Amino acid sequence: MRKHNFNPGPATIPTEVLAEAAQGLLEYQRTGMSIAEMSHRAPEIMALVEEASALVKSLYGFGDDFEVIWMQGGASAQLAIAPMNLLDKQHAVAIVNTGYWATKAIKAARELGQVEVLASSEATKFDHIPKEWNVPSNAQYFHLVSNETIDGTQWHQYPELSVPLVADMTSDFLTRPIPQEKFGLIFASAQKNFGITGTTCVVIRKDFLSQRTPRQIPTIFDYQTHINEQSLYHTAPTFSIYVALLALRWTQAQGGLHEMERRNAAKAKLLYTEIDRNPLFVGNVKTTDRSLMNACFQITKPELEVAFLEFAAQNDVVGIKGFPTVGGFRASMYNAMPLESVQLLVDLMRDFAKRH
């Protein structure tokens, strides 16, 4: 029997995606080979990379003014690769510090150029997204972490700015439609909402990339290299891209991003309603900025934290332990998380409160 997997990533994958991926790992489309054995330049692999890119564009409604590429190194690599490609010496990255991943982005960008931290909620343990700030005139772009996986905040409306947004969407990619005209670049590693570890989807607006001031960039880290080579400049993580493609097909078949948004809102409402109702639990984040993906909460009797984790595990609920720097609990509810699993967690919270 499958567990109710609330892990923050690697995370729950639809069973039908897993079944098809398993078959492809044994033999891909009657080729007599596993997909993991095939050349990354084989026609079959080139076709699936092209389909995966087309599906990302189709689901979001991106036009021909955007490129989609597949890279390695995860979102952490993109924290450096993005400013390496986009930031010149005369300008700065503007950013609001909203949590763990914004903090990492600040550090990575400072190694390559100027950074303007416009506001921060660190003093209140990242319990909200600061709203009062202004973008300085020297900003080249605004780096935004659309969803803080560890701290549990999420931008529910993207700001109106005079500069493009560069967004780390790793934990809420493909979960809702977006106002695409605001974005110059989006990146997301696959292990949350659309696959397994090993590949990162990068969406780039062509005119934003073309406006960059040339700097010396190693060929392997230059976005244009991967655009020119259709993500096959070097040996691509073919199996990871294949699983991403299967997850993209699943997302489309389920009804696309509007349906994902509806489902995710329902799951989050169910859990947050219980957190607010149950005297044994309390949320970490102000209600206006709570993440629909990662609900972070504490127990009001800290001595019962381990007992609740054990109680949950005994009932096949796993992955709810909070990040070490935050503590408490974190329930990650990505696209593939069924509502029934969230209902079970809520039922366990109620039962545990009655017992204690």
Residues 6+ apart with CB under 8 A from 53: 68, 69, 70, 231
* 290 phi and psi angles, rounded to 5 deg: -65, 140
Q: What is the H or E stretch that residue 186 is in?
A: strand 183-189
DSSP string over 30-43? TSSS-GGGS-TTSH
d(CA 40, CA 234): 8
d(CA 173, CA 147): 9
Active site residue ranges: 101, 168, 192
The three-point CA angle 300-305-309 to 5° equals 135
The structure tokens listed for 310 are 């054990």
The three-point CA angle 304-306-311 to 5° equals 90
User: Which amino acid, 222?
Assistant: D
Q: If we measure between CA atoms, which residue out of 143, 152, 185, 198 comes closest to residue 171? A: 152
Residues 6+ apart with CB under 8 A from 237: 70, 72, 198, 199
Distance from the Cα of residue 223 to its chain's centroid: 20
The structure tokens listed for 264 are 């995710």
Q: How many CB atoms lie within 10 A of CB 340?
A: 9
**What is the end-to-end Cα distance of the chain in Å, rounded?**
29
Collapsing DSSP states into helix, strand and coil, what is residue 95? Answer: strand
Q: What is the H or E stretch that residue 66 is in?
A: strand 66-71
Torsion of CA 83, 89, 91, 94, to 10 degrees: 40
The structure tokens listed for 229 are 């080579």
